[in-house]
């Protein structure tokens, strides 16, 4: 029973750590994206520094994600890896199809990377939920 409690505590700590790093990355992304326009009038040096900060926060988030996944049990790891594979596939296939729609002028707007990121995020979330329901 004690081992289960320790595992639960570790899992909770890894989840909080991942949430913290994801939040820091998101805030640094917003700063790099909107700061140039609203705070420092597109100063190249400040822009590069905030982009480097965002990169550092992204690396921290990746490492926190690795730590989080290593702390999962085997079934949770399988669900997560399956969901990541599905999300990657949806991002590559869907993203390239979306880009082709833009290149061939089927859509009037430009293909934006944010749409591919949203597709991957939604796909990952749905695959996690479906995976958890499937193995209940």
pLDDT tens for the chain, 136 residues: list them.
566 667 778 888 999 999 999 999 999 999 999 999 999 999 999 999 999 999 999 999 999 999 999 999 999 999 999 999 999 999 999 999 999 999 999 999 899 999 999 999 999 999 999 999 998 8
Note down the domain range covering 111. Answer: 73-136
* Cβ atoms 55, 66 nearer than 8 A: no
Are 66 and 6 contained in the same domain? yes
pLDDT of the residue at 6: 76
For residues 44 and 79, state if they share a domain.
no
| Beta carbons within 8 Å of 28's beta carbon, 6+ residues apart | 50, 53, 54, 56, 57
Residues 67 and 79 in one domain: no
Query: Among 45, 71, 97, which residue terminates a domain?
Result: 71
Domain count, the chain: 2
Last residue of a domain, one of 28, 49, 71: 71
Residues 85 and 56 in one domain: no
> pTM for this one?
0.80
Tell me: do 54 and 85 sit in the same domain. Answer: no
pLDDT at 76: 92
- In this structure, are 2 and 55 located in the same domain? yes
pLDDT of residue 84: 96
- Dihedral sign for Cα atoms in the order 44, 59, 116, 101: positive
Are residues 87 and 112 both part of a single domain? Answer: yes
Q: Are residues 89 and 57 in the same domain?
A: no
For residues 55 and 49, what is the distance between their CA atoms, to the nearest angstrom?
A: 10
pLDDT for the residue numbered 1: 57
Return d(Cα 52, Cα 50) in angstroms, integer.
Answer: 5
């Amino acid at each position: 029973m004690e081992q289960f409690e320790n595992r639960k505590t570790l899992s909770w700590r890894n989840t909080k750590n991942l949430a913290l790093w994801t939040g820091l990355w998101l805030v640094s992304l917003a700063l790099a994206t909107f700061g140039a326009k609203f705070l420092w009038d597109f100063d190249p040096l400040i822009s590069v520094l905030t982009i480097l900060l965002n990169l550092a926060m992204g690396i921290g988030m990746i490492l926190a994600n690795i730590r989080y996944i290593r702390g999962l049990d085997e079934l949770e790891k399988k669900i997560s890896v399956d969901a990541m594979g599905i999300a990657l596939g949806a991002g590559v296939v869907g993203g390239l199809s979306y880009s082709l729609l833009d290149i061939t002028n089927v859509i009037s707007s430009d293909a934006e990377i944010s749409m591919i990121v949203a597709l991957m995020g939604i796909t990952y979330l749905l695959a996690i939920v479906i995976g958890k329901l499937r193995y209940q």
